[in-house]
Chains A and B, each alone.
Chain A
Amino acid sequence: MAVAGVLLKRSVSVIPVLGVVALIAFMLLRFASGDPVAQLAGDNADPAAIAAIRARLGLDQPLAMQFLNWLWRMLHGDLGTSIVSGQPVTALIAQRVGPTVAVSITTIVFSVVVGVPIGVLAAWRRGGWLDRFAMWTSVTGFAVPTFAIGYFWIYLLSMQFGLFPVQGYVPLSDGLGLFLWHLTLPTLTLSLVYIALIARVARTSMLEVLSEDFVRTARAKGLPERIVVFKHALRNAAVPIVSIVGIGIALLIGGVVVTESVFNLPGLGRLVVDSVLARDYPVIQGVIVVFGSAYVAINLLVDLSYSFFDPRISQQ
Chain B
Amino acid sequence: MSEELLDIRGLKVGLSGEADGRRIVKDIDITVPSGGIVCVVGESGSGKSVTAFSVMGLLPDGLRPVGGSIKLLGEELLGASTERMRALRGSRIGMIFQEPMTALNPVMTVREQLAELIEWHSDVRPSKAEVNRRVLAALEDMLLPNAPQMMHAYPHQLSGGQRQRVMIAMAMLLEPVLLIADEPTTALDVTTQKQILMLIKDLVKRKNIGVLFITHDFGVVADIADQVVVMQKGAVVESGGADAVLGHPAQAYTRLLIDSVPKGITIPTSARELAPDVLAVKGLKMTYGHRGLFGRGRVTHAVRDAAFTLGRGEILGVVGESGSGKSTLARCVARLMKPTSGEINLLGTDIAAVSNETLRPHRRYIQVVFQDPYRSLNPRLSVGQSMIEGVVNFGASPQVAREKVSALLELVGMDPQVMHRFPHEFSGGQRQRICIARALASEPQILIADEAVSALDVTVQAQVLKLFADLRSRLGLAMLFITHDLRVAGELCDRIMVMKSGEIVESGPTAEIFANPQHTYTRALFAAAPGRERLQ
User: Do A and B touch directly, given a CB cutoff of 8 Å in the complex?
Assistant: yes
Known: A216-B58, A217-B97, A224-B120. A310 touches B90 (CB 8 A): no
Residue pairs across A and B with Cβ atoms less than 8 A apart, 29 shown, are A1-B292, A12-B293, A213-B97, A214-B103, A214-B105, A216-B58, A217-B97, A217-B103, A217-B104, A217-B170, A218-B105, A219-B89, A220-B56, A220-B89, A220-B90, A221-B117, A221-B120, A222-B88, A222-B90, A223-B86, A223-B120, A224-B86, A232-B105, A235-B105, A236-B107, A311-B107, A312-B107, A312-B154, A315-B156
Known: A213-B97, A311-B154. A222 touches B105 (CB 8 A): no
Q: Which of A226-258 contact B (CB under 8 A)?
A: 227, 231-232, 235-236
Give chain B residues whose Cβ lies under 8 Å from the Cβ of A1.
Answer: 292
Q: A215's closest neighbor in chain B, by CB?
A: B105
Give chain B residues whose Cβ lies under 8 Å from the Cβ of A315.
Answer: 156
Closest Cβ–Cβ distance, residue A241 to chain B (whole Å): 13
Check if B90 sits within 8 Å of A213, measured CB to CB: no
Q: Which of B82-118 contact A (CB under 8 A)?
A: 86-91, 94-95, 97, 99, 102-108, 116-117
**In the complex, A309 Cα to B102 Cα: how many Å?**
17
Q: Please list the 3 inter-chain residue pairs (A to B) with the smallest Cβ-Cβ separation, ordered nearest first.
A: A222-B90, A222-B89, A213-B102
**In the complex, A8 Cα to B292 Cα: how many Å?**
12
Check if B293 sits within 8 Å of A214, measured CB to CB: no
Give chain A residues whose Cβ lies under 8 Å from the Cβ of B194.
Answer: none
B472 in the interface (beta carbon within 8 A): no
User: Which of B95, B108, B293 has a CB less than 8 Å from the CB of A220?
Assistant: B95
Give chain B residues whose Cβ lies under 8 Å from the Cβ of A217.
Answer: 95, 97, 103-105, 167, 170
Check if B107 sits within 8 Å of A309, measured CB to CB: yes
Q: A214's closest neighbor in chain B, by CB?
A: B105
**In the complex, A73 Cα to B459 Cα: how many Å?**
74
Give chain A residues whose Cβ lies under 8 Å from the Cβ of B91.
Answer: 222
Interface string of B344-373 (1 = CB under 8 A from A): 000000000000000000000000000000
Check if B105 sits within 8 Å of A310, measured CB to CB: no
Give chain B residues whose Cβ lies under 8 Å from the Cβ of A212.
Answer: 102
Given contacts A214-B104, A220-B56, A312-B156, 20 further A-B contacts (CB under 8 A): A213-B103, A214-B106, A217-B95, A217-B97, A217-B103, A217-B104, A219-B58, A219-B89, A220-B58, A220-B90, A220-B94, A220-B95, A221-B90, A222-B86, A222-B89, A223-B116, A231-B116, A235-B107, A311-B106, A315-B156
Give chain B residues whose Cβ lies under 8 Å from the Cβ of A8.
Answer: 293
B532 in the interface (beta carbon within 8 A): no
Q: B106's closest neighbor in chain A, by CB?
A: A312
B121 in the interface (beta carbon within 8 A): yes
**In the complex, A292 Cα to B120 Cα: how many Å?**
48
Interface string of B375-401 (1 = CB under 8 A from A): 000000000000000000000000000
Give chain B residues whose Cβ lies under 8 Å from the Cβ of A310.
Answer: 106-107
Q: A211's closest neighbor in chain B, by CB?
A: B60
Count A interface residues, CB 8 Å.
27
Give chain B residues whose Cβ lies under 8 Å from the Cβ of A76.
Answer: none
Give chain B residues whose Cβ lies under 8 Å from the Cβ of A42.
Answer: none
Give chain A residues whose Cβ lies under 8 Å from the Cβ of B104.
Answer: 214, 217
User: Which of A9, A227, A311 has a CB less than 8 Å from the CB of B120?
Assistant: A227
**In the complex, A220 Cα to B293 Cα: how many Å?**
43
Q: A6's closest neighbor in chain B, by CB?
A: B293
Secondary structure at chain A's binding surface: helix, strand, loop or mixed? helix
**In the complex, A227 Cα to B119 Cα: how many Å?**
12
A16 in the interface (beta carbon within 8 A): no
Give chain A residues whose Cβ lies under 8 Å from the Cβ of B292.
Answer: 1
Give chain B residues whose Cβ lies under 8 Å from the Cβ of A175.
Answer: none
**In the complex, A88 Cα to B154 Cα: how many Å?**
53
User: Which of B58, B90, B154 has a CB less than 8 Å from the CB of A223?
Assistant: B90
Check if B154 sits within 8 Å of A222, measured CB to CB: no
Known: A221-B90, A221-B116, A311-B154. A216 touches B97 (CB 8 A): yes
Give chain A residues whose Cβ lies under 8 Å from the Cβ of B170.
Answer: 217, 221
A47 in the interface (beta carbon within 8 A): no
Known: A8-B293, A9-B293, A223-B90. A216 touches B120 (CB 8 A): no
A177 in the interface (beta carbon within 8 A): no
Q: A233's closest neighbor in chain B, by CB?
A: B105
User: Which of A9, A12, A213, A222 has a CB less than 8 Å from the CB of B99?
Assistant: A213
Closest Cβ–Cβ distance, residue B120 to chain A (whole Å): 5
Check if B90 sits within 8 Å of A5, measured CB to CB: no
Give chain B residues whose Cβ lies under 8 Å from the Cβ of A5.
Answer: 293
Q: B99's closest neighbor in chain A, by CB?
A: A213
Q: Which of A171-229 contact B (CB under 8 A)?
A: 212-214, 216-224, 227
**In the complex, A22 Cα to B33 Cα: how many Å?**
74
Give chain B residues whose Cβ lies under 8 Å from the Cβ of A218.
Answer: 105
User: Which of B89, B102, B106, B293 has a CB less than 8 Å from the CB of A221?
Assistant: B89
Q: A223's closest neighbor in chain B, by CB?
A: B120
Give chain B residues whose Cβ lies under 8 Å from the Cβ of A236.
Answer: 105-107
**In the complex, A231 Cα to B112 Cα: how many Å?**
11
Closest Cβ–Cβ distance, residue A309 to chain B (whole Å): 7
Interface string of A296-313 (1 = CB under 8 A from B): 000000000000011110
Give chain A residues whose Cβ lies under 8 Å from the Cβ of B97.
Answer: 213, 216-217
Give chain B residues whose Cβ lies under 8 Å from the Cβ of A309.
Answer: 107
**In the complex, A250 Cα to B244 Cα: how many Å?**
69
**In the complex, A227 Cα to B90 Cα: how many Å?**
14
**In the complex, A309 Cα to B106 Cα: how many Å?**
10
Closest Cβ–Cβ distance, residue B76 to chain A (whole Å): 18
Closest Cβ–Cβ distance, residue A19 to chain B (whole Å): 19
**In the complex, A234 Cα to B202 Cα: how many Å?**
37
User: Which of A216, A223, A235, A312 has a CB less than 8 Å from the CB of B103?
Assistant: A216
Give chain A residues whose Cβ lies under 8 Å from the Cβ of B87.
Answer: 222
**In the complex, A222 Cα to B87 Cα: how many Å?**
6
Give chain A residues whose Cβ lies under 8 Å from the Cβ of B95.
Answer: 217, 220
**In the complex, A12 Cα to B292 Cα: how many Å?**
13
Q: A238's closest neighbor in chain B, by CB?
A: B107
Closest Cβ–Cβ distance, residue A59 to chain B (whole Å): 39
Known: A9-B293, A217-B103. A222 touches B120 (CB 8 A): yes
Give chain A residues whose Cβ lies under 8 Å from the Cβ of B156.
Answer: 311-312, 315
Give chain B residues whose Cβ lies under 8 Å from the Cβ of A216.
Answer: 58, 97, 103
Q: B91's closest neighbor in chain A, by CB?
A: A222
**In the complex, A214 Cα to B167 Cα: how many Å?**
11
**In the complex, A49 Cα to B396 Cα: how many Å?**
75
**In the complex, A107 Cα to B268 Cα: how many Å?**
76
**In the complex, A56 Cα to B95 Cα: how many Å?**
78
Q: Which of B49-88 contact A (CB under 8 A)?
A: 56, 58, 86-88
Give chain B residues whose Cβ lies under 8 Å from the Cβ of A12.
Answer: 293
Q: B85's closest neighbor in chain A, by CB?
A: A222
Q: Which of B134-191 contact A (CB under 8 A)?
A: 154, 156, 167, 170
